[in-house]
Structures are given as C-alpha cells and as structure tokens.
A and B are shown apart, each in its own frame.
Chain A
C-alpha cells in the first residue's frame, strides 16, 4: 500500500514536474518557453533532493541535511543559468528578431 504523503508522492510530483519541463523544452518553439521548461526541470530536481533528504536523512547522515543544501544550490544554479540563458536569448533575438528556436541553427555541421 503506498501511503499518502510518503516519499513516493514527492517523487511522483518531482517526476511529473520533470516530464512537464522536458515536454516544454522539447516541444515548444519559443525560446522563452524552453527556458521556462528548464526552470521546471530544475525545480523538479530540487523537489527530489529535498524529498530524499527529508525521508532518508534520519538514517543516513543525521545532521548534514545535504539534500536541503543541494536544494539551495539548485535555486542558485537555476538563477545563474536563467540569467545567462536569458542574456544569450536576448543577444540572439537582437540578431534574428524572432524567438523561434528553429531559426537558431547556425551551429550545424
């Protein structure tokens, strides 16, 4: 019996968010939408980290709370990445004037 509110629930939420984010990245054409998807992925991973920490840390590392520290890391990383990505997107947008990802294929072989 899967208990409500246990580890599984959080993992499911995290997985759901991850898939949603993945879907955004892969299926959306607008770059901004892709970035939003990436944010979702980041947050999904953060949920996973914290959930694991909360439910398992008692037995494992006790006082370390490494999962929650990783959560903070993720937030910072997300922010940094968002900044850089948005900067890149802005530069690209100024060049090609459209947010369509299909037009940004200059690195083809």
Chain B
C-alpha cells in the first residue's frame, strides 16, 4: 500500500506538516521546529526506501500512480519516477531535512517561515514526481510563491528587490512554459493530453505545422526552453541569481542553489528533449556555446566578487554550465555527467552556502576582504570548508571530478553522433572547441576558489575575529552528510550512477535516433 503511493506521500507529507504548523500557536517555537523536523524526516526515510527499492534494470517509470482528475480536459494525476528524477527526489528530501536543521535559529516569525518552507518542499517534490504537464505546472507555481516570501521577509538588506526580481523573472519564464504546454495540448497528437509519458514516447510531437514562419516543434521547444533556461540559470538570463542568493537567508539559499536550479535542467530532460528531439538536435550547438559562456563567464565574474555569497552564486552559474554542456552533447556520457553534476553540485554548493551561513551568523559580514587567517581561529570549520571548496573545484577523488569528466568526455566526442546546424556550418569541430574552452574552466575555478580560501582562511588573523567560536554540533550535522557524500561518491560513484544508467542509455539512443 505504501510503496504504490510513496510518491504522493513524499509530496504531500510536508503539506500536512505545513497545515499542522499553521495550527500551532506561534509562541510554541520549539514545537513548530520539531514538527517541521519530523515532517521533513519522513520524506527522507521514504527517499532511502526509494533508493533501496528502485529497480535499476527497468527503463520506464516506477512507483506510478494514475488517477483521473479533470476528465473534461483529460488532466490526470500521474506521479512516477525513473532514473532521471529519482536522484532529484532524494536530493530534495535530504537538503530539505538539512535546511530545517540549518534554520533552527531563525529569529522572527518562526511559524510563517516553517509553514512556507514546508509548502516549498511540497512544490519541489511535486515538480520532480509529476508526470502530467498540468500537474507539473501547478507544482512549479506552488514553488514560486513561498520562495518570494521567504526571500522577501527573512532576507538581507535588499530583500524586497531580490524577491521581486526573482519572482517576476521566473514567472515570465513560466508564462512561456505555459504557452508551450497549451500548444502541446491543443496541437499535439490527439486525443489531447497532458500526459508526459505518452507525449514523450512519440518520438517527436508537433513535427508538422508552421508557427511564426518556423517549424512548430522548434518554436515550442524554444518557448519551453526559455522558461527552463531562466531557472538554470543560463547566460544571459542569470542576473536574478546573484541578488536572490545574496539576500536570501542561509537555508533558502541552499534550497535555491541545491534544488531549484536543477529544476531547469530537469525540465529540459523531462519535457524539452523527449518531446522535440529534432529541435533539440538543431539547438545543440547553440546550447553548447551558451554552456561554455556560462562556465567561463560565471567563473570570471566570480573572481571579481567581494561578497562570498555572490561569489558562490556565480560559481553556481559556472557549474550549471557543465550540466548544459552535457545536455548539448546528447551522448550517453554527456547526459550522465549532466545528471550526476546535478546531484553533486547540489551537495557541494549546499555545503558552501551552509558554510557562509556559519560565518555570517558569527561575524555578520560576508566580505571576502574582511576576513583572513580563519584557519587559526576555527580549525574544524576550515577543514570542512576545504572539503567543500575542493569538491566544488572538481578535485579528483571527490564527486565533482567525476561529473565534470563525464561531461567533458561526453561533449568532446559529441559530434560523432549529433547533427550540427545544416551541413554548411562547420559542425564538425564546434564541440571539440567548446569542450576545450570548457576545460579551461578548470583553471579558472581553481584560481578563484583558491584565492578565496587564501583571503578568508589563510594569512594572519585580524584582532576582531580572534574570539570567533568554532563550528558547533548543529552546524556540523548539516555539513557532515554532504561532505561524506562528496567524498564517498568521488571514490565509489556507482550507487548513484547505477540509478540512471539504464534509463539514460535508452534515452540517449532515443535522442540520437529521432529527428
């Protein structure tokens, strides 16, 4: 009984928890926090169950649920997971749990905070589990509003600006996404349906028809892609990210960077690519170039930052570039690297933001030049920080390396499979050149991360920080699981890689065969 509805339980338990939190009087802060903790621990245990019982040899959807919802429009309630989404579900559950622990010391309006946070978790889980376009869109929007409030009320100095910018920017993308969904519904294969599984297995829908002078599939692909690209974030639609990250409170930054950014890539995996493989192949070289711009531009901008959080934000832009490059490659290794990068970046960037939160709680400043020599005052903190920084840098032996290597390997030989532009363009060499530039990102990342380590942790300690207390147990609890994952997955990545091996091999064949 449980296993057949596990995804619905995972999605709606936080909602249940949110309702309970609403009912607790706001003076019982401890009770609210404990309820939230339990409510997020439940999806976490279910995620572990998913991990154990996920059938690694099956290609299609597992743990499926299907009910009729609004029959007049053929909207169904479909939940399911396959290799692509199961890692994201696990990541969301883990990060939400850790973030509740990280939010333990929220000062004001505790009830509102946790209510919104639990609502956010419902939205996130739903996005990854939903298999009906309408349902997907609902969960996507459910996710936006709590973020707006969380940033706008509990954020930093320019929180209202950042919140509104984030909200409107993402909403613009969602509008295009909705238009795309409607196009798919009305002009797609009949009977009209929002069912992602059916639509995704057609080998390309909307292949006939012209819209605004271009083939319909390409236009709708671009509309959907635009919505997801804002989320990724892809240059030049990324300017909301630095502000949102800097102004958001620690736990919200972690969720934003760790989960929300991945939704953009997930959307492309789940919707854009299966529905329009021919348009995807057409777009791949452009995407590769944009991905490389992400990597290099993000890295170089990060180097210039004086605020640590903004630096990490730009480094996220840079790392998501790798995901995009793997997507553009459309080879098995590229896709695998992209998916794995989603997971590992989730853990390493979460660690970075948690670390910034630790120091901000103590020093109330985030300027890189304000610090120095922290290694003398806070040795345990420095140790964990080193793991986080080197994981982010992609040091071999840590998980980031494997995902980066897969992406680079996958995209270097991409033009063996992928048709570029029309044959007149030298599609031959573009992926090789892109990959070489992407490899340059390795140097740039190392440069700015090491420079940051030096400015913050090494050197001499200014007088005013000599009384800083080292990292405490609660903060360690949030960081240690992530550090453990970073190291363990670097040495033995097979448990996670196995999850999406079968699905992706089928997927990459499907992509390169169609169109």
Direct contact of A and B (CB under 8 A): no
